[in-house]
Structure 1
């Protein structure tokens, strides 16, 4: 097969994926009706619209629990204090773009949907387990979630236990070696259609804190507030070590991920990863080409003013 490489724009040129159920924003009354605890956090903002305080970690976590119950029939979702609280619409986008990459045109709820047998591996599933949860519920895939943190896996195990339909479809594996990614997780003779990953993108806890401060201040400015958060913020973005930061940050993690993917090139059809920093795209693609990938895709995603990218590659 000849080597090919392409950059894919969003299908509609802007905003979330067309299949994303969150394209029209949040219907807070409906969400609060489905998940009553959310009502305590909903207020009218400075623009006269119903919203929550997105700098309040409990409000954001409660919104996530409401979204997961209302749209995806996932109950009792929770994360421990300090764990990464993922933005659900953006995580849903990743899954839809991966489905497109695999040639799947409809979600499982569509009347014409014929369920293919798809196996997904989530590298660094964290305490939230969000990608496998969504992949199981939207497309009916079978998923494995791996993580180095046993406490994170215990939390996801509790979520799975509270949702019996996930039993046997979402399996957890602990990575015992901090210097390995796929090794010790992908078993002999096992094959995955796709792997997903949201790499730790900071090189240290201090760098992660500064990044979260910037996000909090941006949120405050968007609400028209003049106050500035400077120290000891309550971080709605959260993130334990290995979720938000690692030695060398996103660039070094991607290098390790790509190199190890080559060792398992016959056991996974597509390897994919989010890349938050555009400067890391070019060196990542260069390394992938050097290792002999037969196809490379760069897929842009946008949520609000934020643009992130999925990098996908295959050796098959």
Structure 2
């Protein structure tokens, strides 16, 4: 028995395809491995153990195939497996930002150029952005295996190849330098920054999540379920240090980007970022709240352009 009652996830963006509860019967129909992991809860509803990495991986594959026509998607063992509903929310809110910047319509097509900092082995933002709006993406990462895996995903899907390019950031100390060339123009930059200062803190956060998902898990099982490489989760000084560096470096490319943006996991980091942006001469700064999984998150967006609309209109040919 499958529950047919749709539960709307009201915190997600109105355009998010995943606002309702997962239709596991539909998703498992053509995915035998996922179907094998589905169980029935006491209410008679099909469900999945979200604390099992393989289950989440198979769910992502099914979601990407059904909703975004991505036939091949895989990540190396131990690498970050992103929650798709929360990730695509960032894309939709960025689309709203562009609509507010221009003529109240969301610009679509390859002329909208997006730079994704830290795209990861999963390449999730370029996939979702290109499939949702036809935007073109450059994804960057410092990890060679992440770059190779992301490139393989793009190469293996004919509907992604024309829209996504993945490059390695060869200098781990740089964010935009070496990637944004002299003649490049980007409509947007986006980033899901590393937000822990150490792997110990990252592990503690994951252990709490696993415990909430399944209170009977022992510590060894939590360890096995831990996903994410150090460069995906951590940086010296944590999230605020990374974002301050990003903000400072963005000033160099002030005339080449319409809107810079990044997720900000910790609300207390917003005020110092806004202060730094003011000091650097950012003309427009927006903090946009949204849902990321089960919690409220936000991203900060900034522009050094007096009239970002003129930049956008020229780039998209309006």
How many angstroms apart in 2 are the aligned matches of 1:232 and 1:53?
13
Q: Which residue of 2 aligns with 1:312?
A: 301
Q: Is the 8 A contact 1:56 1:234 kept in 2?
A: no
**1:208 to 1:40, Cα distance in 2 relative to 1, 3 A:** same
Q: Is 1:40 the equivalent of 2:29? A: no
How many angstroms apart in 2 are the aligned matches of 1:199 and 1:156?
18
**1:304 to 1:121, Cα distance in 2 relative to 1, 3 A:** closer
Match of 1:77 among 73, 76, 90: 73
**1:173 to 1:116, Cα distance in 2 relative to 1, 3 A:** closer
Q: Is 1:137 the equivalent of 2:141? A: no
How many angstroms apart in 1 are the aligned matches of 2:37 and 2:77?
18
**1:19 to 1:34, Cα distance in 2 relative to 1, 3 A:** farther
**1:51 to 1:237, Cα distance in 2 relative to 1, 3 A:** farther
How many angstroms apart in 2 are the aligned matches of 1:181 and 1:245?
15
**1:253 to 1:162, Cα distance in 2 relative to 1, 3 A:** same
**1:168 to 1:115, Cα distance in 2 relative to 1, 3 A:** closer
Which stretch shifts more, 188-197 or 232-241? 232-241
Match of 2:283 among 289, 294, 314: 294
Q: Is 1:209 the equivalent of 2:198? A: no
Per-residue deviation at 1:267? 1.0
Q: Is 1:160 the equivalent of 2:149? A: no
**SS state of the match for residue 258, structure 1?**
helix
Per-residue deviation at 1:94? 0.4
How many angstroms apart in 1 are the aligned matches of 2:202 and 2:267?
17
Q: Which residue of 2 aligns with 1:265?
A: 254
Q: Is the 8 A contact 1:212 1:235 kept in 2?
A: no
Per-residue deviation at 1:36? 3.1
Q: Is the 8 A contact 1:147 1:153 kept in 2?
A: yes
**1:74 to 1:237, Cα distance in 2 relative to 1, 3 A:** farther
How many angstroms apart in 1 are the aligned matches of 2:300 and 2:224?
28
Q: Which has the higher helix share?
A: 2
Structure 2 portions without partners, runs of 5+: 1-7, 306-318
CA RMSD of aligned residues (A): 2.0
How many angstroms apart in 1 are the aligned matches of 2:160 and 2:270?
34
Q: Is the 8 A contact 1:35 1:66 kept in 2?
A: yes
Per-residue deviation at 1:114? 6.2
Output the TM-score relative to the length of structure 2.
0.88
How many angstroms apart in 1 are the aligned matches of 2:191 and 2:303?
15
Higher relative contact order (CA 8 A, sep 6+): 1
Q: Which residue of 1 aligns with 2:46?
A: 50
Q: Which runs of 4+ in 1 moved over 3 A?
A: 104-107, 113-116, 228-232, 234-237
Q: Is the 8 A contact 2:49 2:55 kept in 1?
A: yes
Match of 2:191 among 197, 222, 239: 197
Q: Which residue of 2 aligns with 1:8?
A: none
How many angstroms apart in 1 are the aligned matches of 2:44 and 2:271?
43
Output the TM-score relative to the length of structure 1.
0.88
**SS state of the match for residue 74, structure 2?**
coil
Pairs aligned (count): 295
Q: Is the 8 A contact 2:108 2:134 kept in 1?
A: no
